Amino acid sequence: MTIDVTIQGIPLAFQTQPGLFSPNGIDLGTLSLLASTRFTSDEKVLDLGCGYGPIGIYAAKLLGAERVHMIDSDPDAVRCAKHNAQLNGVAGVHIQVSDGFRDFHATGFTKILCNPPYHTDFSVAKHFIEKGFNRLLLGGAMWLVTKRDKWYRNKLSAVFGGTRVTPLHTYFIFEAIKKSPTYASVASKRH
């Protein structure tokens, strides 16, 4: 299956397959996240749970392939993402299989973008948020799109010290900025 789409003025094409997330079209959550996120030319971006690659490939078209990393736990998704990076002229994107951050060691990101699996318990989201915090530079931001508000608002606030929440369509877009080298809940216990 091939998806031809224009995201924020950038024409893109994605080949997908059954069994991947949203194989028939870019889901509204991803499109809402990308509509809410702004990039500057000096960003270093991680697409966390990249699927077949719409977020990371879009970022690479804006910033250059060398500034973008993409990871997913599904080898089929990673194969599709690598193919789609070539298809869209950004073959230099760093793409690898990793179960969350377990097999991925790059750091120094200014932005981590994620459409986490939210039809599961919160263990995956908890890992993404806590370990993602450690991979961001000070001043870097984690951006999430979910269907749920309260748990994510509370978890991001405990780790980052706060979060901006923007409702869009039937989704919540979260932006949490790393303002301290330690989790906010740890820093507040020290004072």
98 touches 35 (CB < 8 A): no
- Tell me how many domains the chain contains: 1
Name which of 71, 99, 95 is nearest 83 in CA terms: 95
183 touches 156 (CB < 8 A): no
Q: How confident is the model at residue 185 (pLDDT cuts 50, 70, 90)?
A: confident
Taking only the tens place, the pLDDT of each residue in 140-168 is: 999 999 999 999 999 999 999 999 999 99
- Residue 52 is part of a domain; what is its CATH number? 3.40.50.150
Taking only the tens place, the pLDDT of each residue in 67-97 is: 999 999 999 999 999 999 999 999 999 999 9
User: In a 3-state reduction of DSSP, which class is residue 21?
Assistant: coil
Strands 94-97 and 68-72: parallel
What is the chain's alpha carbon radius of gyration, rounded to the nearest angstrom? 16
State the DSSP H helix or E strand holding residue 61, giving kind and residue range, or none if neither.
Answer: helix 54-63
Residue 191: what pLDDT? 47
pLDDT over 80 (residue 119): no
Range of the domain at 75: 2-190
What pTM was estimated for this model as a whole? 0.94
User: In a 3-state reduction of DSSP, which class is residue 67?
Assistant: helix
